[in-house]
């Protein structure tokens, strides 16, 4: 004989137990929020990304700067570099000093300079050269041919057989009438 559970009466939690459970959940979530490393919030700040834009990523997966999107997937170089930059900034170091520290530690090839102010010249210069090439091609293609210089020598006379000349005279004489 099996006993059915329909005889079991479920009682709702009392008000005091419910308040205690809510308070415990709030304390637990607050403790978790405070236990997180403060550097995690700092590594995505604009100040860190500004300095990180001058430092190349050395993870091998990307050819980007420390501000690369690989940091979100747990890049082995970007995240520690960002934490290091944030700590150096909190210590009061200037951007140039932080970059110099990375250059000294990893070599000169880690430095990425700002783009040149004349980066816009290349596409417009190429467009201008292309338009000039098209202009000269069209000008050369549609230029009228130069007139042949006149020669002073007379063209050689063509000798016509007298029989053909007589036949042509005979046929064309009827046209004049």
Provide the residue count of the chain: 177
0.85 exceeded by pTM: no
Instruction: Indicate whether 23 pLDDT > 90.
Output: no
Top mean-pLDDT range of 14-23, 76-85, 94-103: 94-103
What the block records as the tokens of 13 is: 């939690």
Question: Which pLDDT belongs to residue 27?
Answer: 72
pLDDT of residue 34: 55
Does residue 39 register a pLDDT over 50?
A: no
Q: What integer pLDDT is reported at residue 126 of this predicted model?
A: 93
At 135 the pLDDT is 94
pLDDT band for position 104 (cuts 50, 70, 90): very high
Beta bridge partners of 111: 55
* Mean pLDDT for the stretch of residues 132-150: 81
DSSP for 77-106, please give it.
THHHHHHHHHHHHHTT--HHHHHHHHHHHH
Q: Are 52 and 81 in contact (CB under 8 A)?
A: yes
Percent of the chain with pLDDT over 70: 68
* Arithmetic mean of pLDDT, 166-172: 87
| Residue range 72-83, pLDDT digits in tens | 666 778 778 888
- The number of beta carbons lying within 10 Å of the beta carbon of residue 110 is 19
Give tens-digit pLDDT for 45-68.
888 888 888 888 877 667 667 666
The confidence score (pLDDT) of residue 144 equals 73
């Amino acid at each position: 004989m099996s006993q059915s559970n329909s005889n079991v009466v479920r009682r709702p939690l009392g008000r005091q137990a419910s308040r205690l459970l809510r308070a415990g959940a709030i304390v637990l979530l607050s403790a978790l929020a405070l236990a997180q490393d403060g550097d995690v919030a700092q590594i995505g700040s604009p100040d860190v990304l500004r300095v990180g834009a001058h430092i190349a990523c050395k993870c091998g997966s990307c050819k980007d700067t420390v501000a690369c999107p690989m940091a979100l997937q747990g890049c082995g170089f970007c995240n520690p570099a960002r934490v290091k930059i944030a700590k150096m900034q909190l210590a009061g170091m200037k951007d140039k000093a932080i970059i110099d520290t990375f250059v000294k530690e990893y070599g000169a090839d880690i430095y990425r300079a700002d783009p040149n102010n004349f980066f816009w010249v290349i596409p417009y210069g190429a467009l201008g050269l292309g338009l000039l090439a098209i202009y000269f091609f069209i000008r050369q293609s549609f230029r009228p041919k130069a007139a042949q210089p006149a020669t002073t020598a007379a063209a050689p006379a063509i000798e016509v057989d007298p029989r053909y000349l007589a036949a042509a005279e005979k046929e064309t004489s009827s046209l004049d009438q």
